[in-house]
Amino acid sequence: MKRLKELRQTFGYTQEQLAEMLRTTQQSIARWETGKAEPSFSALRDLAMIFGTSVDDLVGGNPLSDSITTTAYTLLLNEKHDGCWGNAGVLLPGQQHTRWYPITSREHSRIKNSLDSKSGWLCFSTLNNRMVVMNAAKVKRVVFLDEACDQPFGDWEVGWDTVEGRPLELYRALEEYAVREDGQLEESASPQLISILEELVKENGWDEKTILKITTETNIWFADGSQMSYHVDEDDLWSLVSSVEIESDERMISLYDENTGMESFFSRDALALVEMPLLHVMDAARRELRELEEEDAQDKK
């Protein structure tokens, strides 16, 4: 694993300390770092939890990296240890309280630089598995709060993952937990990770429906103050992100409902903010990149 030693040293762990957290041996960690052996998938998930990332980033499976230079793709690049800078807040039409998102310093800069874009639209990723597409002209206020600041009095309604975010792999595991069959989760997750999931579910009183709402649904806020949520097709989510980044002038946005099969079209002018699961956007981007690579390989034959 190319990145394991780099991550371990960045976080200040010795091989012995990391081995203790993973309930394995120092020799195993050393073999993983030198490429003489590979960790199991369940061990990779535990490593992703420890380092606050995803399995894809650990093994270099994030498709949106080195050779991809377009702005849309670089939105989803690995943050490379860029921890939580603080929170971006968006006050939406018809709402009394700001909606807060934990972000890195890079995303803080991205948002500030994009607020005066010609199209009025911008995208940013969060540390709690959200990709946010915003029509800046339609929201009431955008505010930034770094970690050193006090919480704003009377306007700090936050959820279980809002303040500093959670590792991406936790959301992937939560979604699997919600739809698991007997013994299925145990094949891909360690007892430690399963224990974390069970404790989180119990602490928050979640049922399967609530977990899937957290991990799979897209939330849409309109300029008139209304709101709706449903499971949007991943490819449509990625298409929306891409169109915003190239400042497309398309008047309508298509967001297909995976559960009902209903294809909905929304006027761009009617939308204020679309908040979607980041992992689902990344999955769609990965598929598109594979298709592009296959087409390129065919053209070269």
- Domain residue ranges of the chain, discontinuous segments joined by +: 4-58, 75-160+217-294
Distance CA(279)–CA(285), nearest Å, equals 10
In this prediction, what percent of the chain has a pLDDT beyond 70?
92
The DSSP output letter for 195 is: H
Which range has the worst mean pLDDT, 28-32, 60-64, 67-71, 281-285?
67-71
Mean per-residue pLDDT, 294-298: 80
Write the pLDDT tens digit of every residue in 122-167: 999 999 999 999 999 999 999 999 988 888 999 999 999 999 999 9
Cα–Cα distance measured from residue 193 to residue 23, given in angstroms and rounded to the nearest whole number: 12
Q: What pLDDT, in 10s, does the model give residues 14-29?
A: 999 999 999 999 999 9
pLDDT surpasses 60 at 52: yes
Residue 182 confidence class, pLDDT cut points 50, 70, 90: confident
Residue 162 CA neighbour count, 13 Å, CB half? 14
pLDDT of residue 77: 43
* Residue 78 confidence class, pLDDT cut points 50, 70, 90: very low
Specify which residues 133 forms β-bridges with: 123, 274
Superfamily per CATH, domain 4-58? lambda repressor-like DNA-binding domains (1.10.260.40)
- Flag whether pLDDT at 79 surpasses 80: no
